[in-house]
Structure 1
Amino acid sequence: MKIDAGTLQDYLAATLKSAKDHTAEPPQLMFLVDQMDQIFHREIFEHSFEVNPVVGLLAMNSYTLILSAVRQALSGHVVSTYPIARAALESACYGFLIACDEAKADVWISRHHSESSLQKCRKTFTAKNAANELRKIDPVMAEYVLAHYDASIDFGAHPNRKSVIDHIEDMGPMGDGLHGFSLVGVYGRNSWHVNHALLVCVEAGQAIAFLLAASVENHPLIHDRASVFQDWMDAKNRMVEELNGGPIDYSGPMYCSVIPPT
């Protein structure tokens, strides 16, 4: 086997070009990302709510990380979108767990005090634990959160088959008995993969927004203004059908039915 890889400067030039291209001409699904940002600001950040300070910090961390995931998607390096989206979702999950039981804030703060503190923190703060608590409020959104967390691992947060082999292109015979394959690292302007990564950011953002709202007692976004959240979900679903050529089947693993064009 012989590996021919570009340099760091090649990578930086390619991702910078993709980001500039997408700034000049936004991708097809970028308006959904802008809508997501408006929801965060209009429905969450423009209001004052009584929460534990740690919950507030984790909420802001979650928001800035999902913005970073969008940035990665726009750079064209779509696989790296998933680890960041996963971290954003985890931050919202941790904040929600503390909102449910403020004693958990001390567990989170004390994580590095000792080995036993570390293990206790690891066992306390998991996406599954957050989903279990969220199930008491909304079973459907609990499954939504966990499905996106698992999907982020499958598609890029871990080096699994989908995050590697799904980005291989067959280059055919290369001579001297060799056969070439290319592992695509950076996708170009308005590609299907870039738009798919933006979809991931939006859906992770929806899970995060719900978790943040669920961290506040009687938050309007999931009570008095629940229609705003549902309209946001519906608008996203309509665009997904256009991108995918049909509805996503959410009954199986997340994104298993989102097939790139051949």
Structure 2
Amino acid sequence: MKINVGRVRDYLIATLENTQDHASESPELMHLIAQMDGIFHDEIFSLPLSEQSAANLLIINAYTMLLAGVREALSGHVVCVFPIVRAALESSCYAYIIANDASKADVWLDRHSSETALSKCRKMFTAKKAVDILKSSDPVMAEYVWGYYEASIDFGAHPNTKSVIGHLSNSGPAQDGLHAFEFTSVYGKNSWHVNHALFVCVEAGQAIAYLIAASIDNHPLIHERGEIFQSWVDAKNRMVEELTGEPCGHTGPVYSSVRPPL
């Protein structure tokens, strides 16, 4: 087996060129990112956040990590989006756990003080624990959050087959009697994969926005303005139906069932 890999300079040039091209001419689905950002600023950050300072730090971290996922999508290195948005989702899950029990903030803050504290924090702060709490108030959204978290692991947050073999293509016979395969790490500007990665960020944003709102007592985005959030989800689903020509009946994330064109 022979391997031919580009150097770091080649990688940096390719990702920088993608980012610059997308800055001058946005990808097709970038309007969904603008819509998402509007929801965060108009419906969440324009109002007081949690009374728990630790929860607020985690909320801000979730949002900034989500932005990092968008930037990675625009670079074309789309598989890197998944570990970033999973971390963003986990941050909002941790905020939600603390919001439901303020005493757990000390466990999170004390994580690195001892091996015992580390073990306690690891057991208490997981996405699954947040989902289990959410089930009592909104089982549909709990299913969505957990479905997104699990799918992110399959698609790139862990080096599983979908995140590795899924980017392999058959190039046919090569020299010296070898057969060539190409592994694509950086996709071109406005490609299907770049737009799909932006869509991945939007669906993460919906889970994160909901968890943030659920972390705050009687938040308008869930209660009297719940139609704003629902219309955001409905608009996303309609777009998927228009692109695929099939009804979107998912209660979980849509991105994991959308396939690239042959």
CA distance in 2, matches of 1:257, 1:109: 38
Contact 1:27 1:190 in 2 (8 A): yes
- The verdict on how the C-alpha distance between 1:158 and 1:185 changes in structure 2, with shifts beyond 3 A counting, is same
Contact 2:148 2:252 in 1 (8 A): no
CA distance in 1, matches of 2:20, 2:197: 17
Partner of 2:170: 170
- The verdict on how the C-alpha distance between 1:253 and 1:176 changes in structure 2, with shifts beyond 3 A counting, is farther
- The verdict on how the C-alpha distance between 1:182 and 1:247 changes in structure 2, with shifts beyond 3 A counting, is farther
Taking the TM superposition and a 5 Å limit, the aligned residue runs for 1:158-197 are 158-197=158-197
Contact 1:96 1:214 in 2 (8 A): yes
Taking the TM superposition and a 5 Å limit, the aligned residue runs for 1:1-262 are 1-248=1-248, 250=250, 255-262=255-262
SS for the counterpart of 2:136 is coil
CA distance in 1, matches of 2:142, 2:40: 19
CA distance in 2, matches of 1:253, 1:69: 17
Deviations 1:5-25 (A, max 9, x none): 001110000001111111111
Q: CA deviation at 1:239?
A: 1.8
Q: CA deviation at 1:257?
A: 2.5
| Structure 2 letter corresponding to 1:242 | E
Contact 1:54 1:95 in 2 (8 A): yes
| Structure 1 letter corresponding to 2:122 | R
Contact 2:143 2:252 in 1 (8 A): no
Q: CA deviation at 1:235?
A: 1.1
Structure 1 residues without counterparts, runs of 5 or longer: none
- The verdict on how the C-alpha distance between 1:227 and 1:249 changes in structure 2, with shifts beyond 3 A counting, is closer
CA distance in 1, matches of 2:253, 2:203: 14
- The verdict on how the C-alpha distance between 1:55 and 1:228 changes in structure 2, with shifts beyond 3 A counting, is same
| Identity among equivalent pairs (%) | 61
CA distance in 1, matches of 2:243, 2:228: 23
Alignment RMSD: 1.4
Deviations 1:160-214 (A, max 9, x none): 0000011011111002110000100111111111111111100000000000000
SS for the counterpart of 2:149 is helix
| Structure 2 letter corresponding to 1:257 | S
Contact 1:248 1:257 in 2 (8 A): no
Q: CA deviation at 1:137?
A: 1.4
Contact 2:144 2:252 in 1 (8 A): no
CA distance in 1, matches of 2:147, 2:118: 26
Q: CA deviation at 1:246?
A: 2.7
